[in-house]
Amino acid sequence: MGEKTDRVILAEGRGEITEKKSRFLAVAAPAATEEEAQRIIEQTKKEHWNARHNCYAYVIGNRQRLQRYSDDGEPSQTAGKPILDVLLGEGICNGVIVVTRYFGGILLGTGGLVRAYGKAAAAALSDSRTAPVCPGIFWKLQTDYNSAGRITYLLEQRDIPVLSREYGQEVILTAAAPAGEAQSLKKALTETAGGKILFLEEEKKLYARSEGNVHIFEMETEELSR
């Protein structure tokens, strides 16, 4: 089996379940930094100031390098850990999930708590919008007007997004290609343009595609080349 692809949360999702009269309200949101994750946690605590527990987990960074969770008063590893397991299980690398519990007066036991927190977290994540993230090469290409159409057609045929177009004496295109295809694509572009192409800039970045949009995530260059 190949390595599991990292995924990013692009849009917030919410979920709610009820177990033995206890309500579990969950929110899953994107968080590119630990500060962003903590801000969402604090906002949720203020929103549900009268709840007994606001448990959470978050994962930050390529290959899920930073992982944190809190049981917020629930028995050890019955709340934060199952929430974290949901994030890890889906390969999320930039997300936070907070699950708020309004106690219903009936004890759930450790097994019941693990299932309830995990189920609520999964519901929120399922409601959110996620996408796979991959290392890419971002090019700024310069070519003449005669070659621009052929280059654009080649990029479209290979499902390579063109992020911007500038028209002056020459045409300048910005495109994002998966890192694994960069070398062969560069050769094909040069051949298609008959050599009349300049690669003005070349940057390594992580990106995700969703609903026709490209979302860029800043990462250290060495992480992209591993």
| Each residue's pLDDT tens digit, 62-118 | 778 899 999 999 999 999 999 999 999 999 999 999 999 999 988 899 999 999 999
Domain boundaries, the chain: 7-127, 132-224
Distance CA 126, CA 119 (A): 10
User: Predicted confidence band at 4 (pLDDT cuts at 50, 70, 90)?
Assistant: low
Give the number of other Cβ atoms within 10 Å of residue 92's Cβ: 28
Q: Are 188 and 154 in contact (CB under 8 A)?
A: yes
Residue 222: per-residue pLDDT:
39
Distance CA 41, CA 148 (A): 48
Q: What pTM value is reported for the model?
A: 0.83
Q: Taking residues 6-26, report their average pLDDT.
A: 95
150-207 pLDDT, tens digit each: 999 999 999 998 999 999 999 999 999 998 888 999 999 999 999 899 998 888 888 8
Residue 221: per-residue pLDDT:
36
Residue 114: per-residue pLDDT:
97
Look at residue 8 and tell me whether its pLDDT is greater than 80. yes
Look at residue 226 and tell me whether its pLDDT is greater than 50. no
Least confident segment among 10-19, 97-106, 208-217? 208-217
State in words which class domain 132-224 has.
alpha beta
E strand segments, the chain = 7-11, 13-19, 22-30, 53-60, 66-70, 94-102, 129-143, 162-167, 171-178, 197-210, 213-217
Distance CA 111, CA 108 (A): 7
| CATH number for the domain running over 7-127 | 3.30.230.30
Give the number of other Cβ atoms within 10 Å of residue 72's Cβ: 19
Q: Cα 172 from chain centroid?
A: 29
